Structure formats: C-alpha cells, structure tokens
Amino acid sequence: MSDDKPSQSIYEPLKYEAFDAPIAALDVVQCVPHSCAIKGANGGFPTSADGWFATVFSSGGRAFDKAVWPFLLVSANAVFWTVLVNASDDINPYRANIRLDKTYSYGLAFTLGLILSFRLNRSILRFWTAMTRWGNMVVTSRSMVSSILVHGRDNPYHRDQIVCWTAAISIALKRRLRQLDIESSELLGILTKEQIEDLENSNNPPLYAANMVRRHLKQVMDVRPDMNHSPLSPARSGEMRQHERYLDGLIHNGGNLESILATPMPLIYVAHIRSFLIIYLVSLPYLLGALWEWSTIVIVPLIAAIYLGLEAASSEVESPFDKGRSNDLDLDLYCFTILKNIQQLVKRRNEKDGLL
C-alpha cells in the first residue's frame, strides 16, 4: 500500500458519516450511555450494583451449565447411599468413629475452600486486567484521534488515514481475541476493500493496523529539510513523540489482552483441584451419612452446589473474551464506544473545516 499523499484536488477529507455502517455492524446489545461492559448485564441479567434480592434470586449468569454433570453425579451418589443405608438394617456405615470422619471431612473441606478461593482470585484478576486494558484502549484511541485531528491539519490525507487505522486497531483486536476472521462489514467505509484485504491477510491484524498508523504518522510529523532551522522543528518532534506514546499504549494494551487469551490456567492445577473436589464430594455420604442420615440427600447437593459453583465461576471469568459466555466482556460495546468517540471528534473537525 502506498503512503504517497494524493493530489489535494482529488482527495475528499474523511466525513463522520463513514463510521455509520461499521457502528451499525457491531453486535451491541444495548447502545445506550454507560451500558455495562459485561455482556450478560446488557442481556437482562442483574449486575452487582442491583442489590441483594436482584442477585440472590437470579439464576442467570451463574454458569450452572459448567457444573451440571458433576453436580448430578454427586447428588445421585448421595441419594443412592442414603437410601441404601437407611432403608436396610443390614448395613452399618462406619458408625464407630464419626469423630475421625468429621475431622477428615472438615479438614479437607477447609483446604479445598482455600484452594478454590485462590483459583477464583486468579481468574478474577485475569478478568479485571482484561477489563482495565480495554478501558485503556478506549482512552488512548480517543487521545490519539483528538490530538492528530488538531496537529495534522496541514496533511489531511495521512491525518485521516491515522484516524481510520486507529479505529481499525480495536476492531481487529476484538476479532483476534475471539479467534475470528476479519468481518469486512465492521470496517467498510472506514477502510477501502483493498486495505481490508491487506488486514485480513496479515498474520497479526491489530499489529498490522498499528504499523499503518505509524507509517502515516511519520508522513504527518516528518521534519522536512526546510524545517531544520525553523521553530516548528522541535515542536513537531515533540508532537511525534507524544503520538508515538499513544500508539505504543495501544500496542501494549493489545499485547496484554492477547497474552490473557494465550495463557490459560495451568492444566495440572485445574485438573488436580477438580479431581480432589469430586473425590471429596463423592465421599461425603460414606463419611458423614451416618451422622446426617436422611438429611444427607439435601446437605450433600447443597455443599456440592457451593464448591462446584465456585469452580464454575472461576472457569467462567477465566476466559473473558468468549462470546458464548454470559459473563464475557462485551467487546462489541468497547469497539462501539471507540468508534462513536472517533465519529464525534471527526464530526467536530468537519464542522470546523466547513464540510457540514
């Protein structure tokens, strides 16, 4: 792709309407100010700020589907053993040493609780980091475009290309994090068909878009030989460094988001927790069934729901980019916010240039 500046007589500056189609193509559940960045909340599930009753009695967003089979196995085992023991006078389930059984059971329960809490903490940290990085993407994109629209007025073509490719970074990053190909409808109007094809054919589309920003930024901020002794020279160099920092921020945040996608929790840790969690829950009726008697049918599933729910919550928030999860980050909403912010800035620039 050529970086040569086209003739001013044939170049038409970027209009804010160019962003209408890409914005409409985004899968945003609720396009209202301050929409929640967690997709489940925009889909009708309550948020943590909705109060006790709204959250305690809500079944949505709890990721029960991730623990349904272990829960059914543990519950069926508890029912089987309880009925077998309490309906027969011939079976005596280790009543002799309930104190030892309780010590074993409660000690293991405490240990598993600590391990599960640590796993949930690590998973939430990944989720929080992803949410923070996407917030930084919004802020940095806004700063880059706002600044270049002011400082790049003498080179409108390369200025507008920086604006368009900055918008493309977030769209390309969203598709990469969801492990999807570039969708042309989300970029057509901002980029040309040829530019979108180049973006699709690159190994790392977000990095390719960032590189295009840098190439056009050099054209806008380049200090020409006739400016070497001009007072504008140091000012232009300072502006270049500031825009490079903005661009580096976009690349840095995008790289952190990609690292979250590429580094799930170690299998040995997750497999070990799940194995011993199942062993513990399955063993409960045999160890404490004599103490709980018929209540075992209720107590064991309740304990299973608590522990398996914690494990399911950890698994749910560990991968914040999976569109199929109710607690995933609404990446479309982040991109929607970025494009709307850029569109607003471009519209203001159009008004000042008398293009509206």
For 32-52, the pLDDT digits (tens) are 444 556 655 455 566 666 666
Instruction: State pLDDT tens for residues 96-120.
Output: 444 555 666 677 788 888 888 888 8
Q: What percent of the chain has pLDDT over 70?
A: 79
Task: Sort residue 51 into left (φ over 0), alpha (ψ -120 to 50) or beta.
Answer: left
User: Rounded to two decimals, what is the model's pTM?
Assistant: 0.84
Strand partners of residue 188: 191
What is the spatial distance between Cα 220 and Cα 199, in angstroms, rounded to a whole number?
Answer: 22
Across the range 144-162, mean pLDDT stands at 90
Instruction: State pLDDT tens for residues 164-202.
Output: 999 999 999 999 999 999 999 999 989 999 999 999 999
Does residue 293 register a pLDDT over 80?
yes
Instruction: State pLDDT tens for residues 17-31.
Output: 889 888 888 876 554
Residues 6 or more apart in contact with residue 6 via CB below 8 angstroms:
157
What is the structure's pLDDT at 33? 44
Query: Crossing angle for the helix pair 205-221 and 98-151, nearest 10 degrees?
Result: 30
Q: Which of 12-21, 74-83, 207-216 has the lowest mean pLDDT?
A: 12-21
What is the structure's pLDDT at 92? 54
What is the structure's pLDDT at 29? 56
Instruction: State pLDDT tens for residues 301-355.
Output: 999 999 998 898 888 888 888 877 778 888 999 999 999 999 999 999 888 878 7
What is the structure's pLDDT at 215? 93
Q: What is the SS3 assignment for the chain?
A: CCCCCCCCCCCCCCCHHHHHHHHHHCCCCCCCCCCCCEHHHHCCCCCCCCCHHHHHCCCCCCCHHHCHHHHHHHHHHHHHHHHHHHCCCCCCCCHHHHHHHHHHHHHHHHHHHHHHHHHHHHHHHHHHHHHHHHHHHHHHHHHHHHHHHHHCCCCHHHHHHHHHHHHHHHHHHHHHHCCCCCCHHHCECCECHHHHHHHHHCCCHHHHHHHHHHHHHHHHHCCCHHHCCCCHHHHHHHHHHHHHHHHHHHHHHHHHHHHHHHCCCCHHHHHHHHHHHHHHHHHHHHHHHHHHHHHHHHHHHHHHHHHHHHHHHHHHHHCCCCCCCCCCECHHHHHHHHHHHHHHHHHHHHHHCCCC
Banded pLDDT at 244 (limits 50, 70, 90): very high
